[in-house]
């Protein structure tokens, strides 16, 4: 007998209800609210919900979970500081085993981050931390508005993507004057 949630109470989208996963191969699509993942502040932020496509392979009390995550992130181009929006894709792989384990078996398996041992009576698993980790690992170090972004003029700060600036092209940095005057034989 499967216990049902009372009407009006929604299961968070990061929780897998194990008894609702069918034997064999099945698929499920969910939307995860970005606020649920608590990604913190950074150079980039995700906008809109994260789309998660799960593929389950269940055999008795063993659950193989493969997840594909898609979302949109926004930030600033690291060269010209213009706003940038781009796709973010990440993946998740996990093996859940629901059964009684001895202490030695549990210790042997806990070293593998992609395997999680569950008590025989476990009804649900919260994937929040695993989804969060998958997203954080795929966040780029830098984003560019385009591959050939010219950036900003170091003298006046003009965006060089919109055309040349009024600064003198041959204006040299006075800090390098001593090197320019150096004569090599």
- pTM equals 0.74
Burial class, 182, CB count within 10 angstroms (exposed 0-12 / middle 13-18 / buried 19+) = exposed
What is the pLDDT at residue 180? 77
| pLDDT per residue as tens digits for the range 161-177 | 998 888 866 566 678 77
Q: Which two tokens stand for residue 115?
A: 């395997």
- Summarize the confidence of residues 84-91 as an average pLDDT: 93
Domains of the chain, by residue range, sit at 15-149, 153-185
- Residue 7 is predicted with a pLDDT of 47
What pLDDT, on a 0 to 100 scale, did the predictor assign at position 8?
47
Strand partners, 126: 15
Contacts of 66 (CB under 8 A, 6+ apart): 54, 55, 56, 57, 91, 92, 93
Which tens digit of pLDDT belongs to each residue from 21-80?
A: 899 999 999 999 888 888 777 778 888 899 999 999 989 888 999 999 999 999 899 999
Give how far Cα 96 sits from Cα of 15, 133, 147, Å. Answer: 13, 17, 42
Vertex 9: Cα angle to 49 and 64 (nearest 5): 60
- The total of other beta-carbon atoms located within 10 Å of residue 132's CB is 17
Query: 46-76 as b/e, with b when 16 or more CB fall inside 10 Å?
Result: beebbebebebebeeeebebebebebebebe
Question: Which pair of tokens denotes residue 2?
Answer: 């499967």
């Amino acid at each position: 007998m499967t216990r049902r949630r009372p009407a009006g109470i929604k299961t968070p989208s990061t929780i897998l209800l194990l008894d609702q996963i069918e034997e064999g191969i099945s698929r499920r699509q969910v939307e995860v609210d970005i606020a649920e993942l608590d990604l913190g502040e950074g150079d980039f932020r995700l906008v809109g919900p994260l789309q998660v496509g799960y593929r389950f392979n269940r055999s008795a009390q063993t659950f193989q979970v493969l997840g594909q995550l898609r979302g949109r992130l926004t930030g600033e181009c690291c060269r010209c500081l213009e706003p940038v929006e781009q796709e973010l894709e990440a993946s998740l792989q996990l093996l859940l085993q629901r059964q009684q384990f001895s202490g030695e078996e549990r210790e042997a398996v806990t070293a593998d981050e992609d395997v999680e041992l569950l008590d025989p009576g476990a009804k649900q698993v919260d994937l929040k931390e695993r989804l969060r980790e998958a997203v954080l690992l795929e966040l780029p170090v830098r984003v560019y508005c385009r591959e050939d972004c010219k950036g900003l003029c170091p003298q006046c700060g003009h965006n060089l993507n919109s055309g040349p600036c009024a600064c003198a092209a041959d204006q040299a940095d006075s800090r390098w004057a001593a090197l320019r005057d150096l004569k090599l034989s």
